[in-house]
Structure 1
């Protein structure tokens, strides 16, 4: 009995030593320190090569599990316990391929890793999206097992709930308020790694999903759908893994209505292996697949040539001539396609004819397909394309019988949907990378705005999804143009207001007289002039016609005034348009003009209509970041009288703007302005009297006018 036990223990020591020798390194020490922001740092030390871990987070119970590939554990104590509000215990275990650290937490948390020297630092803090849960009864903890027994126990892949690691940029940001809910929110995470077979391994962990995912293939995409499993918006992500040199180029996790989709973008030939480690935890392995070429293609295996030996000595001879000679020597019927061309120089002696044919095929990159006694020769690329089309046609025939449903289009015009690149039957090279299969077709019914698609049920479902994406309302923009005109005038007037008022009792009635601009006589037995009737001197002759010097008051008022006035005229055309659609609005007149033209030996007169309008023509383009690019043309025309020699003619005053500019939604942009200024001085005086030194000020009126005018064009677009 003792001998058997000794052999078992020796075998275990030998296996452990062999594993540590083959591993990348060993974990030698674990230390924990604290940061001021309630973070914990777990410092994992290695004795040689450092491996960056992959891991996941569980919320019930609260744990962080980290796996170190091809790593062993060389520590005396493999279970560490802490009296901390966040971290309670660290357990280390290993199996034949990796080592795992399990960090038991007192509350849900998140982590981030960083390699520093020969250590891996694990930053831990409380999860940002922790939700409060109902109180649970306390559970008495079982007594801890000895350290060596715990280290020897194997670990499992069981996952209850998974959340994404937090980014370093968010380590300092704390949640201001915590959500109130009865159960934890659904969380989903993905991880990617490469194994020793150059295969891409995608690990998908989904909390609360108990079923099996739907897996489908669309060209070079593997689509994994979790039905009725809603992905939080914050957990949507895309991983570019092309640098790993595996068949997987990109991994995308996104939300589609109430479902969650994992899209794996691949390249080359591959095969998929799907594994389910535990409920809600799935592993997808995409392995590179070697292409098995059919007979007649290129094969790296040694070839055996048994044909009759021939000798050939040609210089700069057409390939078709060489194939014709080989056909005669072999007795085979060789058919060469039109694309087989070029010249070669051969010097072969006592070579089997089939070996000579193989040399010609390799030199000119040709491929051969044999059917009985007939050999078809064509360039290898064209032959592969033809074989791919044949294989694709067989696959479509096996996919199911054709159906032809009617797909109504509600918003867009049905004629626009088939113009989408995904609906072309084939591209210029003959490759069918489109939505419609080789035997499918699309018909348009403009009367009912309906598409009639004839294809398999799987293609019809893809059509329905494409129509749901394309048949959406277009964005609309309200474009408003403000044309502001301002006239600023500064005038200084000097003059005399000279007026007289008087009252006289006539037949017990009050009568008044006066002279000035507003003077007048009433009817009946009284006549009246309005009080304080004045005239701005010099007055015209008729203003003095009723002036009489009765007993009353003669009031002479001298005034000097200075005023500043501003006037604004606002033109405000506005129009509603769809995104990338031109809109036009105008209002005004069509003015007839007489045009004289010389024709033959005389002149002919025609009448032409010219527009004088307030108009706005605009095309708006809404960018993805909310900016609005406008191509705009604004016109403000007005008819006016213009002097032409001694005559006055009708002309059109125009203000116009044609530009392209960009402004944020709801902002106002001044895209142009016109400034005009005319200076003028006026002097009005009484002849002879105004030249007297004593009355020069009172008997003349001078004015100075400087009316500058501006026109501003403002654009305040607003997306509806």
Structure 2
């Protein structure tokens, strides 16, 4: 035995030395200055004892200094530095042949192009096509076409390139987790209006040409002022003294005589109101994708003579971009805007905006509050009678004040939750479903069988050897008897604790001959129960 080990050691040492010696003999040193590539390739091929075929369009020159390198390695180094591809063609009379040319020439002349269709399950074909074109398009010659109808990619290229692209697509076409965002948008608007003071109006009537009737204009458009009161500033409107005086709580009557008309009204009124608006939208967003929420109005206003109408969204505008972290936290980029439009400058609206932009990180299922978006408007208005309003003590009888205050507060509550997804792994293989046999054991458990060595105990973790029942009354362990083949699917029949398995009549083969029972395994082992 020791002689064999020594001989084996000597053989291994000699073999290793032969490999080192062969490598040492093939290593060479190359020095050249401004030499044609074809000459350099032919020199390397002569040293390495292989054939090379160089594209005639390759006419570059280069300087090379390589010390103790393998000829084939030197061939690849020089080719790569000049943007050329090396293609191994065949072995002729014990020598390898290599073609050296640009990549497009190699693909057209030696590599067959293929076309494959790849259907995507989760990613968008447009996004994946852009990544493949930008990521691999500069390195390899690959054609990518997208089919939005079936969400598929049509790939064209060599087999090697297509395999690389398919490996990349497998890494990109993965299910993306989603986030359910429960939003509560609460808008509280408070208004307060106060009117207090005296309002004086007067006018002088004139004669009218033509027929003058009550509340009817004559040809001169001058109305008669007789037994009627003026209730509006426009002298073209009159009403009967018996009608209501509008919304003023306190008012004096009108004083008139002939063509002279005088009106004095005292107003004292306060109005307050609170309006609450609650909306509870629910958004489902893909991880890293933006979800948008618009609550409000769309304002459309005309542009110039050569401009089309423009649109603006007013109200509550919310943009949310969730990102799921590994530690069960969710990072959200939130951009909330509250805006109102006023048409106080002709046809072009004035839009008042309140914006809040932030990035928050919350745990899955926790609530975050975005508030503080408050708009307050105050509109004081004062009507006075000149000169008389400057008289002390009685100046309050010659002025009227109107104050209107509006407060709008926006509160947003956001609760993000990660949506649990059950996505089956697509391995590309079709396997039959498992068959569960009701033999002994408890329900729902898979068979756990260990095969013992001949003559030894059952292996740990196993239940014993597998025994196929072939005759009525064959032993099936303490769980029960298998009377016939139907017991495999119906389950064993129970028996009493003291009842031993009895040998029944032998089962018959299809031709009517009795089927011999299967002998027990060697070693005199008892047949244990098969636990499922």
Structure having greater relative contact order (Cα 8 Å, sep ≥ 6): 2
